[in-house]
């Protein structure tokens, strides 16, 4: 008697028969469920070696069945192949990459099915993030835990860093404003002098033009400095 039970949860009799026919004869016992509720019942009673789950089902949707599987540590250990005629039906609920289960799009052939089963058996062995088990601590994955006191200390340090950055940013903004006002006043003064100078006939205006060119160079330099300050501010916020 075969010990490898494959549970196929699909409301299509054709798909259930297709899966049965594609599997090696005698190696697997195929259990068929025609809706989500029947599928959950078979998972509880039969504890299959593999679950093939359609995403669109009557009575209980494949999405709801999927959530129940993922919320139960025992069910999580069962390799899972999710099926759908449209991949976007799945990705609208579950973001890629599919880390702990495999997906195949209908219709599929024997080769695709065999590869999906193989990959599902690999993915199911991946370590999952652990949830908090004891009051006063938070699990962040694996065996590492951070206490609430340590979290509070980290939050205080973050607040101090943000406050320091805020003061520094205000100082930089003040420097930028002062530099900008100084340059603006100098430009306005020079423009007035240049306009008055143009009104004097027969007087060479070459030195003033050179001054304007020099000032434009200084303005460009200031713009670059402002850009660098903005980049620095963004980096400090991102840190």
Domain ranges of the chain: 5-123, 147-238
Strand-pairing partners, residue 6, are 30, 50
pLDDT value at position 175?
73
Can you list the positions of beta strands (E) in 131-213?
A: 137-139, 145-147
121-152 pLDDT, tens digit each: 999 888 776 644 444 444 444 444 555 666 66
Question: Mean pLDDT of all residues in the chain?
Answer: 76
> What architecture does CATH give domain 5-123?
3-Layer(aba) Sandwich (3.40)
Report how far residue 140's alpha carbon sits from residue 129's, in angstroms, rounded to the nearest whole number.
7
Burial of 20 (0-12, 13-18, 19+ CB in 10 A): middle
Residue 127 per-residue DSSP state: P
169-189 pLDDT, tens digit each: 677 667 767 766 766 666 666
DSSP reduced 3-state for 102: strand
3-class secondary structure per residue, 42-87: HHHHHCCCEEEEECCCCCCCHHHHHHHHHHCHHHHCCCEEEEECCH
Report how far residue 165's alpha carbon sits from residue 238's, in angstroms, rounded to the nearest whole number.
11
């Amino acid at each position: 008697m075969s010990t490898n039970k494959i549970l196929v949860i699909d409301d299509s009799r054709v798909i259930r028969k297709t899966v049965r026919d594609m599997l090696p004869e005698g190696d697997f016992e195929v259990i068929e469920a025609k809706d989500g509720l029947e599928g959950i019942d078979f998972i509880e009673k039969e504890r299959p070696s593999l679950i093939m789950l359609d995403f669109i089902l009557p009575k209980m949707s494949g999405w709801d069945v999927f959530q129940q599987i993922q919320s139960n540590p025992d069910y999580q250990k069962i390799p899972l192949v999710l099926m759908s005629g449209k991949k976007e039906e799945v990705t609208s609920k579950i973001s890629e990459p599919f880390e702990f289960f495999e997906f195949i799009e209908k219709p599929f052939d024997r080769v695709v099915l065999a590869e999906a089963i193989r990959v599902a058996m690999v993915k199911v062995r991946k370590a999952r993030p652990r949830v908090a088990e004891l009051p006063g601590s938070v699990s962040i994955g694996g065996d590492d835990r951070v206490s609430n006191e340590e979290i509070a200390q980290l939050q205080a340090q973050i607040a101090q860093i943000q406050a320091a950055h805020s003061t520094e940013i205000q100082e930089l903004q003040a420097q930028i404003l002062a530099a900008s006002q100084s340059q603006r006043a100098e430009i306005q003064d020079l423009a007035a002098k240049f306009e008055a100078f143009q009104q004097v006939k027969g007087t060479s205006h070459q030195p003033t033009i050179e001054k304007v060119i020099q000032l434009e160079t200084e303005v460009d330099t200031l713009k670059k400095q402002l850009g660098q300050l903005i980049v620095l501010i963004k980096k400090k916020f991102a840190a």
